[in-house]
Structure 1
Amino acid sequence: MSDEWWREDPPARTIKVENGLRVRSTRGDIARTWWSRRFIEVLEELGLGGRLERGKRYARQGQVVSMSLSASIVVATVQGSRPAPYRVKIGVKAFTVDQWVQVEQALAGQALYLAKLLAGEMPTGIEEVFEAVGLRLFPNSFAEFSMECSCPDWEVPCKHLAATCYLLAESFDTDPFEILAWRGRARQDLLDGLRSHRGGVARPVEADPDPLPDDPAAFWATGPVVPAPPPAAAAPGAVLDRLDPLPVLLRGRPLTEYLRPAYRAFAEGQ
């Protein structure tokens, strides 16, 4: 027997991935916005800073094969040194329906917050809104996290989990609604809830009552050259659109939704 039997086998080489998911940053920090940096800072505060560095190289090399985010869980596959990619799951404690109702009620009075979210920005004071109802937007303890990887590494997070965290942070850069979806509220559900709490209804786009004439030169003419446009017929229930939303709900729906059919029926009966 060789006297070198005790030596460990050299570590297996990582299998490169073609067209894998990779972060845009090639050096330095990966998170660009304050909210994605906040997410990385939370992980570092939990003692994961050194371990995250192991996955940064994986995230830049494109070793993440796939990643999907849904309410409270992120699922990914990450290619390591074995032929089959490792299965990765990162879960976070989602807020309950009742808790989200409280958040929506608080956000409904902050029109600027909604405008920034729709513009792809996370309002800087949104954490205080969550804290006001006894919640934290970003996790602050391991009790709120659940991390799993099918690799044999006993450390959590391993480099496969860490690589997924960096991809996740960059997805937050692109769409801040994903942070809220991860906490249990999808984008459209949140917007619908905010509209409901504000008591607003979607207003139809009205046609221009004074369209330009077909001949551009006639626009500058005076006298009888430009005939007066006929008065536009008012749509049934148009008066409802000119009023501020009524602060009255019937069976959980705005009162105006019940008045519109009555206006329409009255107009058709004339």
Structure 2
Amino acid sequence: MSEHWSGPRYGKTIKVDNGIKAKSKRGDIGATWWSRRFIEVLESFGMGGRLTRGRNYARQGQVLSLSLSTSMVIALVQGSRPTPYKTRIAIKAFTTPEWQRIEHALAGKALYAAKLLAGEMPSDIETLFASLGLQLFPASSRELTMDCTCPDWEVPCKHLAAACYLLAESFDNDPFEILAWRGRSREDLLERLRTLRGTTRAVAAREEAPPLTKCLDTFWQRQTTSSLSFGDPTATVRADAVLDQLDAVPITVRSSNLVDLLRPAYLSLQPPSDASQIAD
């Protein structure tokens, strides 16, 4: 007597209601030049036809979750089997010395950080990377590692392709994610840029000020009005104004803020308003 398989048959995609759906409903996916550039790069590796198969998956919301960490993207995609498939898209991260060069280059261009914080990838950022001998987007398929738990041997399968499209849209939302994918998180990168820009300003200030050994003869001389720039000579500057220039001081004495306690002492040092009373 012949036996017949009575178990579940897989072949029809299991629809989900709570998946992540691509914002694009038709045509190309990717609203910005950098997300479209990412898709173009993948297509240049001969993945165009295979990527297209996952576009409908991305638009139907078959991707249940998508997370990006340093150099790794992991997505769960619902296919034709009850258990979602796990996909991974990894890229070769820049090395520490390479990131140090990138950070110094970015710190030297304040506009770059400003645009990134505004949610925009600078249009010439690829040129900056090229000047360092690097490429922001993968130069070859060897820099990418893709795998999926589905039985399809093709790479990328439609599950991976769907994850790639949603990854491109995540780049639309936050260009910092491209840099995070390359090995430097948003928080770490911004902290490094703040440190480098602060160091650069300090060095510039030291370079502008003449060394003490060059001005010993005039250091203690009284400055004349011709060498100083004054504002309104009739304006009165409060002696406690310097306290208002300080950052908030988290110190209290008997429930009173330290700055408030110091203010009367500073005001007691207020010089007389009549300039004629000031002894020469």
Scaled to the shorter chain, the TM-score interval is: 0.7 to 0.9
- SS for the counterpart of 1:29 is coil
Counterpart Cα distance in 1 of 2:192 and 2:173: 23
Q: CA deviation at 1:17?
A: 0.8
1:137 aligned partner: 136
**Any conservation in 1 of the 2:62–2:78 contact (CA below 8 Å)?**
yes
Q: CA deviation at 1:235?
A: 3.6
**Any conservation in 2 of the 1:177–1:187 contact (CA below 8 Å)?**
yes
The residue type equivalent to 1:176 in the other structure is P
**Any conservation in 2 of the 1:181–1:187 contact (CA below 8 Å)?**
yes
From the superposition, tell whether residues 152 and 189 of structure 1 become closer, same or farther in structure 2 (CA, over 3 Å).
same
2:157 aligned partner: 158
Counterpart Cα distance in 1 of 2:168 and 2:113: 21
1:189 aligned partner: 188
1:168 aligned partner: 167
Which one of 225, 240, 243 corresponds to residue 232 of structure 1?
240
Q: Which has the larger radius of gyration?
A: 2
- SS for the counterpart of 2:167 is helix
Q: CA deviation at 1:109?
A: 1.4
Q: CA deviation at 1:108?
A: 1.3
Q: Deviations over 1:47-77 (max 9, x none)?
A: 0000011000000000001110000000010
Counterpart Cα distance in 2 of 1:144 and 1:173: 22
The residue type equivalent to 1:20 in the other structure is G
2:84 aligned with 1:89: no
2:63 aligned partner: 64
Q: How high is the TM-score relative to the length of structure 1? A: 0.72
- SS for the counterpart of 2:242 is coil
Counterpart Cα distance in 2 of 1:31 and 1:151: 26
Q: Deviations over 1:227-255 (max 9, x none)?
A: x89553414996xxxxxxxxxxxxxxxxx
User: Any residues of structure 2 matched to 1:1-270 within 5 Å, and which?
Assistant: 12-199=11-198, 230-235=238-243
Runs of 4+ in 1 over 2 A off after TM superposition: 199-202, 228-233, 235-238
**Any conservation in 2 of the 1:74–1:90 contact (CA below 8 Å)?**
yes
Structure 1 alignment gaps of length 5 or more: 203-227, 239-266
Q: Deviations over 1:55-112 (max 9, x none)?
A: 0000000000111000000001000000100010000001112111100111111111
- SS for the counterpart of 1:234 is helix
Q: Deviations over 1:14-48 (max 9, x none)?
A: 00011101101110111010000000000000000
Worse overlay, 183-192 or 170-179: 183-192
**Any conservation in 1 of the 2:10–2:81 contact (CA below 8 Å)?**
no
Q: Deviations over 1:165-190 (max 9, x none)?
A: 00000000000000000000111111
**Any conservation in 1 of the 2:64–2:76 contact (CA below 8 Å)?**
yes
**Any conservation in 2 of the 1:65–1:79 contact (CA below 8 Å)?**
yes
Counterpart Cα distance in 1 of 2:147 and 2:125: 29
Number of residue-to-residue matches in the alignment: 211
2:258 aligned partner: none
**Any conservation in 1 of the 2:75–2:88 contact (CA below 8 Å)?**
yes
